[in-house]
Amino acid sequence: MRLQANDLSLTLKGRRVLDGINLSMGPGKMIGLIGPNGAGKSSLLSVLAGLRSPEKGTVTYDGRTRSVQGRQELSRRLAYLAQSAPVEWALSVRQVVALGRLPHRGLLGPLDATRHAAAITSALAITEVTALSTRPLRSLSGGERMRVLLARALAVEGEVVLADEPTAGLDPYHQLQVMELLEDTAKRGAGVLVVLHDLTLAARFCRRILLMQEGRLVADGPPDEVLTEASLRQVYSVIPLIGHAHNERFVVPWRRSTRP
């Protein structure tokens, strides 16, 4: 599925959080969305997911708007992992992951139960939460809950995955695991847009980076063109340490710089 955003603008509580955003994403690519706190990243994802309407501009999915596409069809084709999802549900881990299959209910006739069960089991396994499947979600640590919610998003088997800070609260091992899972999801043909604060993860795993500042998209391109010392000084007010290890790029915020 090709997702296209044209001239998106949005104001919340008197503040312009999106200002003339244009972007497109297609299948088989993993894109990193970065920017300081308050840049508008989460607002952009919610608009792209069809959860919030922009005051100006349009979002289309294979050339069709949300209203033409239909809510159920869109929910089958697009998976969204929110930054701050509810965690106090009185459900087991497996039941939470099974929620990702709800949009598919009734589509495949007698094959529903088999296919749905397989998708749920696979999502539990690849996120390494199978051992937690009978535990209540609210009994888990923050990092464990994030992996469960990622499993729910992957169980959708959507053509587009929008993930808002999926590595937040995870230890280094599971940060890498999540990025590898999203990378594999893109290799299987889905379009993946992931919000990140870790610049090295963005540089290593994403072949395209979108950089936001104050509601605007200020850069869009490959990591070596977007994650430069000049751009990071301007947008983040930091001086980075940029280098390569094992033929892969790393970007580490090293010192604060004077704000422009």
> 65-98, pLDDT tens digit by residue?
999 988 889 999 999 999 866 566 689 999 999 9
Kindly tell me if the per-residue pLDDT of 168 is higher than 80: yes
Tokens at 247, concatenated:
């033929």
Q: How far apart are CA 145 and CA 257, in angstroms?
A: 35
Domain extent for 246: 3-256
pLDDT of residue 72: 86
More confident site: 243 or 110: 243
Q: What are phi and psi of 105, to 5 degrees?
A: -60, 130
pLDDT of residue 85: 61
**Domains in the chain, number:** 1
Q: pLDDT band at residue 110, thresholds of 50, 70 and 90?
A: very low
Kindly tell me if the per-residue pLDDT of 260 is higher than 70: no
Query: What is the mean pLDDT of the segment spanning 241-258?
Result: 93
User: Which residues, in sequence order, are CB contacts of 86 under 8 Å at separation 6+?
Assistant: none
Tokens at 32, concatenated:
């990193």
Q: Which long-range contacts (CB under 8 A, 24 or more apart) does 138-145 make?
A: 138/87, 138/88, 138/89, 138/90, 140/93, 142/169, 143/169, 143/170, 143/171, 143/174, 145/87
CATH number at residue 186: 3.40.50.300
The string of pLDDT tens digits covering residues 205-226 is 999 999 999 999 999 999 999 9
Q: How far apart are CA 218 and CA 234, in angstroms?
A: 10
Q: What is the mean pLDDT of the chain?
A: 92
Please indicate, yes or no, whether the overall pTM of this predicted structure exceeds 0.85: yes
Query: What is the mean pLDDT of the segment spanning 1-7?
Result: 97
Query: Rounded to the nearest 10 degrees, how much is the dihedral formed by the CA atoms of 237, 239, 241, 247?
Result: 50
